[in-house]
């Protein structure tokens, strides 16, 4: 039955005759599903808040869950931040019958050595047809109001918009984007260019530090699991803005993972070469990087260099998540009482990689990103914002046919050198201006480094006091204070680390203490 379902869902079915409970989650992990057995009680829910409302469910932080949160920015399935509460993984199910629990999978991402077509042009045409059909399918269940779309001006959201306009009048489509005063983060001009070229009804929200502060306070009221991704703030703000005009929107989620859009894919080969020179990567380069100034800009040279160097001490698959996560596995930020022994710096990477040993490395990385970043960070962020704002989100690029086609194509058709998403760019050539198709990826971030020194500073200082950290016992207060001092004095850029700690503390106050 489950293999015939498509789209996003979290379901629970009770078979009265066999006294069996079935729990299952959609293929890509768009909707969460939690469960646990507590004494004689089996508890399940689509949110941690509902789980915690049950009197038999304790609020005990899992030390390994906290470690995962700090190193991966999330707590991946099948674990959660709480002891005893588990999360159904994407494409998986749980059967519970008379106290016996069976966990399994009904779907896995599949790599085939046989491509669907023989050449690049035919491949881009196939992807286009699959995206058109996916968009059409989503429109069949659309509410009565106008279609909306979250538009960044990048390749993914623009591709979904072009497909949408094959089936809807441009003047009826409402597009929404976010702007920042810091030009290194701002993509609003690119989104405006796409909208003007295609003729949509476009609106822009300009987000400043005080609005970000208000959004963050609102987010924590409904975000019942910790997530160390600061783009949650602009995502929530944009979706809240869009909800004033529509009840449902399209998004471009999924394009970066399956068409190799992240810059970390492009530097994978460089990371492999640099790892063969440990003296250079572990002693010489770290000293040289400290000579670069700490910048508040988006993806500054020093920020990228420090991240790159940090990953070089780890094997290939681990390296990517050392690049992405807030804290390195060997960080001293955890208090001695909270530290826990792990079988690996990144046990979740090892868990998924175990089934990918026969895959080409770049294809395996695509799946690892899909399972540990897309499902656990990106889609969790979207689901949190959706619940908090009341705005539904559809992601046509996550359609199974689109994903299967992308995985069946040779990597070289999507990425070569520093050029990413080649298939999508070819698909859109002639349908969008070249200036949009040829610009590099910016990423959906926010000027957190600056905000922590200005509008968010009082919030940060209030939640990371020494007395508070010592009383709770999770973090090393001395290390946290050193990071705060270095960041405030412009000696270092700890935007990711400080956001991770701040969000956890705000979440802890709201949901646990």
Q: Which H or E run contains 203?
A: strand 201-206
Two domains, one topology: 2-105 and 120-258+386-437: no
- pLDDT tens, 10-30? 999 999 999 999 999 999 999
Phi, psi (rounded to 5 degrees) for 107: -150, 140
CA distance 373 to 380: 9
> What are the tens digits of pLDDT across the range 70-105?
999 999 999 999 999 999 999 999 999 988 999 999
Helix-strand-coil split of the chain, %, nearest 5: 50, 15, 40
Q: What is the pLDDT of residues 291-310, one digit of tens each?
A: 788 888 887 888 888 899 99
Name which of 449, 70, 442 is nearest 262 in CA terms. 442
Per-residue confidence band for 37, with pLDDT thresholds at 50, 70 and 90:
very high
120-258+386-437 is classed in which CATH architecture?
A: 3-Layer(aba) Sandwich (3.40)
User: What kind of fold does domain 2-105 have according to CATH?
Assistant: 3.60.20
DSSP string, 340-362: ---SSSSHHHHHHHTT-TTS-HH
Does pTM top 0.75 for this prediction?
yes
Three-state DSSP at 241 gives helix
Asked whether the predicted pLDDT for residue 114 surpasses 80, the reply is: no
What are residue 188's phi and psi, to 5 degrees? -65, -30
Domain boundaries, the chain: 2-105, 120-258+386-437
CA torsion, points 393, 395, 398, 401, in degrees to nearest 10?
120
pLDDT digits (tens, 9 = 90+) for 166-192: 999 999 999 999 999 999 899 999 999
Mean pLDDT score of the chain, rounded to an integer? 94
Model confidence at 412, pLDDT cuts 50, 70, 90, reads very high
Alpha carbon distance 326, 320 (integer Å): 12
């Amino acid at each position: 039955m489950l293999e015939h379902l498509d789209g996003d869902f979290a379901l629970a079915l009770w078979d009265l005759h066999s006294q069996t409970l079935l729990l299952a989650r959609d293929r890509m992990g768009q909707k969460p599903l939690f469960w646990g057995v507590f004494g004689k009680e089996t508890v399940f829910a689509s949110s941690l808040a509902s789980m915690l409302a049950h009197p038999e469910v304790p609020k005990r932080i899992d030390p390994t869950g906290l470690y995962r949160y700090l190193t991966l920015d999330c707590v991946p399935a099948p674990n959660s931040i709480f002891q005893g509460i588990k999360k159904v993984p994407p494409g998986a199910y749980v059967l519970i019958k008379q106290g016996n629990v069976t966990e399994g999978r009904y779907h896995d991402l599949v790599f085939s050595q046989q491509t669907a077509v023989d050449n690049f042009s035919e491949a881009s045409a196939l992807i286009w047809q699959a995206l058109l059909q996916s968009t059409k399918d989503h429109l069949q269940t659309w509410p009565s109001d106008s279609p909306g779309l979250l538009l960044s001006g990048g390749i993914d959201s623009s591709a979904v918009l072009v497909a949408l306009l094959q089936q809807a009048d441009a003047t009826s489509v409402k597009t929404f984007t976010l702007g920042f005063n810091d030009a290194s983060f701002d993509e609003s001009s690119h989104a405006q260019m796409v909208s003007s070229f295609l003729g949509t009804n476009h609106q822009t929200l300009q987000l400043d530090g005080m609005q970000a502060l208000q959004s963050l306070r609102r987010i924590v009221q409904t975000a019942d699991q910790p997530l160390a991704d600061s783009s949650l703030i602009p995502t929530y703000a944009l979706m809240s803005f869009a909800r004033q005009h529509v009840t449902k929107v399209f998004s471009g989620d999924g394009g970066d993972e399956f068409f190799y859009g992240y810059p970390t894919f492009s530097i994978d080969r460089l990371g492999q070469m640099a790892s063969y020179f440990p003296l250079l990567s572990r002693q010489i380069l770290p000293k040289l990087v400290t000579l670069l100034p700490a910048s508040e800009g988006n993806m500054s040279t020093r920020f990228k260099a420090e991240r790159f160097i940090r990953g070089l001490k780890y094997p290939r698959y681990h390296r990517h998540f050392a690049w992405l996560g807030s804290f390195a596995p060997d960080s001293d930020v955890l208090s001695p009482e909270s530290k826990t022994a792990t079988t690996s710096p990144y046990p979740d990477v090892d868990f998924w990689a175990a089934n990918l040993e026969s895959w080409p490395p770049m294809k395996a990385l695509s799946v690892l990103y899909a399972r540990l970043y897309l499902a656990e960070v990106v889609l969790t962020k979207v689901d949190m914002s959706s619940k908090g704002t009341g705005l539904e989100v559809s992601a046509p690029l996550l359609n199974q046919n689109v994903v299967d086609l992308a995985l069946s194509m040779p990597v070289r058709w999507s990425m070569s050198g520093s050029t990413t998403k080649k298939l999508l760019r070819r698909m859109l050539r002639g349908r969008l201006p070249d200036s949009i198709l040829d610009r590099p990826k910016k990423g959906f971030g926010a000027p957190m480094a600056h905000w922590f020194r200005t509008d968010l500073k009082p919030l940060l200082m209030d939640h990371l006091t020494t007395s508070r950290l010592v009383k709770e016992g999770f973090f090393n207060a001395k290390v946290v204070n050193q990071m705060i001092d270095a960041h405030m004095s412009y000696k270092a850029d700890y935007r990711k680390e400080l956001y991770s700690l701040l969000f956890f503390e705000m979440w802890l106050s709201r949901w646990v203490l």
